[in-house]
Amino acid sequence: MLDYHHTWLNLFDEFQATQDKLEAGNFLKLSRVSSPTYYVEAFLDESLEWTEYAYTERELQALKNDAIDCGFTFTVQEVSND
């Protein structure tokens, strides 16, 4: 089973290397999909309790709900994926 996993990882690495070699105008080159990443910090009485990244709106909402349910205040920053 582990060999299967390593085979797929090697195949993916080869795919990425091939994509990096293609010129931007090449119709075979896949465009990167940009999606926002959020960095969430939760505080209790101004003391940092936890930090977490959210990669989707659903994950972000779940983290916000968790912070509110625990009585924390929180900050959310959008992080660049570049």
Whether 78 is covered by a domain: the verdict is yes
Q: Which two tokens stand for residue 12?
A: 């993916």
Q: Kindly tell me if the per-residue pLDDT of 1 is higher than 60.
A: no
In a domain, 10, yes or no: no
Query: How many domains does one find in the chain?
Result: 1
The residue type of 54 is A
**Residue 57 covered by a domain:** yes
Is the model's pTM score more than 0.85?
no
Domain that holds residue 29: 25-82
In tens, the pLDDT along 11-52 reads 778 877 777 776 766 666 566 667 789 999 999 999 999 999
Note whether residue 66 is domain-resident.
yes
SS3 74: strand
